[in-house]
């Protein structure tokens, strides 16, 4: 089996779904802009520099989901996908996914962004399998805590191996493994697959790709 893995934010999407979700909630009065926007910007800069404390970030982001009824969040999410996310989906990204689908490759999205936001985005690409950072739930409502290990940096490798185990597969037994990502935070997984592809790469990843002679593509 050949496995094609895709990062989501700034890779398949021309933008960041997590960052823009916060801005969307601010616009709809769910978040206080004075309190939230500055901290959100700081976390975003830390992510871009590879210095993000993922647990601190999750605690900050998930509090919003905890403090609002699931019914309200579900309605807002539908509006968010239609108005904000769909315009971020480029033809080039769709063509890339479809090229792997036509070759009967197994398709997987792996993202540090929470699975509540990203599952309907994966559906836009027709990709059933998604590994995201999972949220703990109690009686259908979010608790504000992470469930399991965040799929971030080396955590993506751990979560990928767990996913493969669930399917009775081993990474070493796969014929080929592709991974497309834009971020320096994904270098651990890019180094593990047989076919790493720097996609819309940030400066650090671009330098790494040039040094390692990895393909560099742009989906914008």
Catalytic residue, chosen from 9, 18, 182, 186, is 9
CA–CA separation, 183 and 199 (whole Å): 8
Contact by Cβ (8 Å): 202, 44: no
CA–CA separation, 68 and 145 (whole Å): 14
CA–CA separation, 118 and 120 (whole Å): 6
134 is an active site residue? no
16 is an active site residue? no
Q: Which of 46, 8, 4, 43 is nearest to 22 (CA)?
A: 43
CA–CA separation, 103 and 23 (whole Å): 38
Residues annotated catalytic, as ranges: 7, 9
């Amino acid at each position: 089996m050949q496995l094609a893995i895709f990062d989501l934010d700034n890779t398949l999407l021309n933008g960041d779904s997590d960052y823009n979700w916060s801005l969307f909630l601010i616009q709809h009065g769910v978040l206080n802009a004075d309190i939230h926007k500055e901290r959100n910007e700081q976390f975003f800069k830390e992510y871009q520099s590879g210095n993000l404390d993922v647990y601190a970030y999750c605690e900050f982001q998930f509090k919003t989901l905890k403090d609002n009824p699931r019914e309200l969040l579900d309605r807002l999410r539908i509006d968010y996908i239609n108005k904000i996310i769909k315009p971020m989906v480029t033809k080039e990204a769709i063509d890339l996914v479809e090229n792997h689908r036509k070759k009967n490759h197994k398709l997987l999205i792996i993202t540090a962004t929470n699975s509540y936001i990203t599952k309907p985005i994966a559906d836009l690409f027709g990709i059933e399998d998604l590994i995201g950072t999972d949220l703990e739930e109690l009686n259908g409502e979010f608790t504000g805590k992470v469930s399991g290990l965040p799929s971030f940096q080396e955590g993506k490798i751990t979560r990928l191996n767990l996913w493969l185990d669930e399917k009775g597969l081993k990474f070493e037994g796969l014929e080929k493994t592709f991974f497309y990502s834009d971020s320096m935070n994904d270098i651990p997984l890019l180094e593990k697959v047989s076919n790493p592809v720097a996609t819309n790469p940030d400066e650090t990843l671009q330098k790494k790709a040039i040094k390692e002679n990895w393909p560099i593509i742009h989906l914008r």
